[in-house]
Structure 1
Amino acid sequence: MIHAVSEEPSAIDDDTVVLYRWAIRHHQITSGDLPEVCAATGLDTEALHRALAALTRACLVREVDQGGSVAWQAVSPQAASDRLLATRGAELRLREDDLHRRRTQLQREHEALGALVPVYLQSRQTAFPRATIDRLPDKGTVRTLLTEVIDSCTSEILVSKHGGSFPPNALREALPRDLALLARGIRMHCLYQHTTRYDQATRAHAAELIRAGAQIRTLPEVVPQMIVVDGRMAFIPAGKGGALVVREPDLIAYLLAVFHRDWANATPFATGPRAAHEVSGTLKQSILVLLAKGLKDDSVARRLGISLRTCRRHISELMDELGVQSRFEAGVVAERRGLTSHPHHDDAP
């Protein structure tokens, strides 16, 4: 007997090809033909049944009922291919629909659980008012809680963001929320890196916030990412897309001290055409400071929030100005000339 069709067709081996040729020449194979087929093809009974099953799975033969007996008629490869595509395609579409339903359900469950995060954290804060450091595992959970916390902000938000530019989508998403906060009279102090002044989208975003009352300053380097709300809750990065939510008073006090130290050393964000020009000298000095410390080009670029290509262009210009042949020599010469004295870098963590 021929077994039920499996999900995957068997490979077309030599025995299968031999049997397929016989079926084409004789139009069909009947149950009574099997001994003759074995003799003509040289296949034993087991090999013949295996090849016949493979042809059936590949749709190269089709079963027909001949008054109580079974026959297998040869089908052209083109017709077999069309039948396979139609049958398996329908099966795949059903599976895709089922998979889509499962994914949608899983996403709903994920969102429902994420919505409980604020409840969990608020209850935890009540039960353990000083043991309040929690980890949020992913961006969605972070966004849920951060939105709720910011919406309930009553006085001040402090933001420190690393990078020479911010994604346009993130800027568009944040702008209405930030403007609404400022309209409610919430103080907003933001620390960016000097290199944000070179990015048009970030510069335009900053200009709108400043017009609405935000204060923005820049430094060569800032704390990679930090948001402090009302001086009582902080969000800092943890893993890929996650965050630590900090309420512990002593740790909050430390983070505030770091922010205010950087704020005092920072330069107010200029939004006009000369915004980038105002910090170009400081940026080059920062590069010299890091070269003098022995950092490689990629480390310098990462810390200053610029691309490796831009960093290397600045380094090349500095080497020309100093009349040196190597990065190490540039750092040494700059230090000798007193070009690496930078109060912020001396205090940087």
Structure 2
Amino acid sequence: MAFHVLGLAEETERVYTVLVHLPNATASELAGAGELSVAATARQLSGLVKQGLATRATGRPPRFTAVAPDVAVNALIRRREQQLDDARSQVHRLMEAHREASRISSPDLAVELLTDRADISAAVQYLTTQAQHEIRAFDRPPYVDRPGSGLDEQIKRQRRGVAHRVIYDRAAVAWPGRLADDILPSANAGEQARVRTELPLKLVICDSRVAIIPFSSAPVGQSAAYLVKRSPMLVALESLFEAEWERAVPLPLPGRTPAAQPGLATAAGEPDQETKSLLSLLAAGLTDAAIARAQGWSERTTQRRIHRLMSQLGVETRFQAGLIAARRGWL
């Protein structure tokens, strides 16, 4: 029978199906059509009422009517989906307990290999959810989950005091819609965001306790990840992050005053926020096309603004523009 996956017994489904075709019927009237005794049919009808699949009218004998299938059965489906979600959550908790038990019984096991996309996504979600102090990350394509899908959860973590420092590869900043829909909202909510021309790997470090390195052995998408626990390797990854952080260019935030941007000069003649953003993207090595996508401009508009900026700075190359901007404290 089709509904057994929803927890309905064969007899229950049979009585419900008959009731759909014979509304406002008594148990006696349904018994023959369902090939069950009157007593068995009455028991099934009572169960259908309790499960919200049927209604009972007052009177003697009571009459029953099936609740519309698109309402009643979909409610059972949603209930079962919730049960499955609860089961998945329990699996994730048991998975972490299993990993921890393995670490305790095998203290030399500093690195664990994850080879399933679902496991990678679940591990990243679990680790970031458990973070208490700080999350540091290298962000670069390709991605396991849609970029920005965890924005709401990240903002909640930041509000409860979990710091986020993220270095974005220029390919991440140039990802269509990423800057406006994800990076800037995260930064405006408290994330410290910087940009590098190229990052060596993808990385998430949680509380100096554990790190995950997703990587790809296929042309597209991650197919594996390393889960790195407390060990000299984790210390090395932290050192790598801090070294890249020092080299990365801070991402200016639209609408913030100069005083809210550490390291920017406050002297008269300082460029507007749009120019600062353009300088940061240039310093990060983004192409004209990538800058256009990130800023929502056309390529022609982007080229025109870059040319005007270079003319105002009195330079002939982008490198010189970045150098002069840095000397003036604009980056």
TM-score normalised by structure 1 residue count:
0.46
Larger radius of gyration: 1
